[in-house]
Structure 1
Amino acid sequence: MLLTDIAVEHTISPPKGGLSVNVVLHPFTNTQRDSLGKFEIVRTVREPSGKDVKRSTFVSFAQLAELYAKGVLDEYGFSIRMCVPGGKYPKTTPTKKLLPAHIKPGSPFDLAVQGVDVAKEATRELKTALFRTGVSV
């Protein structure tokens, strides 16, 4: 399922030259077992050895809204795995940093973000998911 309430423009450049194509990307839910129906968020972490590695985890619609409402995605530099609507992306699906400005005003996702009580502590499930990326809230 595509979350069409969030959109960002992206340019696909063919590796062997040719015309570049502009497409609109949306976050999409995974179709695999444990992460079925969840969105993948990705963060680059510097290991003690000095090497940068990507860490990712999967969050639900409500958890993604909570992360936006609390500013966690922006604060820790998370990106979201994106996909083109109605088709396949030519290579590995890209990740994009999405600001709250990319959320369609008045959409169901925007209303979910606005409905989050930012004073409440995150659930254990969300804390566990974020812990996999080196973030504790």
Structure 2
Amino acid sequence: MLLTDITVEHTLVSKKNGVRQTFLLHPFTDTQRDSLGKFEIVRDISQPGFKDVKRSTFVTFQQLAELYAKGALEEFGFSVRMCPGQGTYPAKNPAKKILPTSIRPGSPFDVAVQKVDISKPATRELRTALLRTNVTLQG
């Protein structure tokens, strides 16, 4: 499933011939068993003395809305794995940082973000998912 409530423009420049292609990208749900129907969020992790790595985890529609409402995606530098709405992307689908301005106002996702009670702590499932990315949500 594509989450077309969020759209980000992305330009890819070919390393071979310099041809520029522009894509309209959307978050999409995974099709694998354990992460079926969930969105992949990705974060760069750097620790002194270790090589920088990317860590990802999968979250549901509601958990993604909660992360937006609490500002956690921006605070911890998360990107969301995206794919084009039309055609195919010529390489591995990119992970893009999504600003709240990329969310279509009044869309079902925008409404879900607005309905989140940010005074309540994050659910145990969401906190557990974020542990893979070295993030601990307090509330």
TM-score over 0.5 (shorter chain): yes
SS at match of 2:57: strand
Residue in 2 aligned with 1:134?
A: 134
Q: Is the 8 A contact 1:42 1:55 kept in 2?
A: yes
Residues of 1 paired with 2:104 and 2:41: CA distance? 19
Count of matched residue positions in the alignment of Structure 1 and Structure 2:
137
Secondary structure of the equivalent of 2:118?
coil
Structure 1 gaps, min length 5: none
Query: Identity over the aligned pairs, expressed in percent?
Result: 66
TM-score, normalised by the number of residues in structure 1: 0.96
Question: 1:40 — aligned with what?
Answer: 40
User: Letter of the aligned partner of 1:97 in structure 2?
Assistant: K
| Cα distance between partner residues in 1 of 2:127 and 2:88 | 32
For residues 30 and 47 of structure 1, the distance between their equivalents in structure 2, rounded to whole angstroms, comes to: 29
Partner of 1:81: 81
Provide TM-score, normalisation by structure 2.
0.95
CA deviation digits over 1:43-94, x for unaligned, max 9? 0001342421001000000000000000000000000000001322100000
Instruction: Tell me the SS of whatever aligns to 2:31.
Output: coil
1:69 and 1:12 mapped to 2: Cα distance? 30
Q: Aligned residue for 2:65?
A: 65
| Structure 2 unmatched ranges of 5 or more | none
Give, in whole Å, the separation in 2 of the partners of 1:39 and 1:18.
31
Query: How far did 1:136 drift?
Result: 0.4
**RMSD across aligned positions (CA):** 1.0
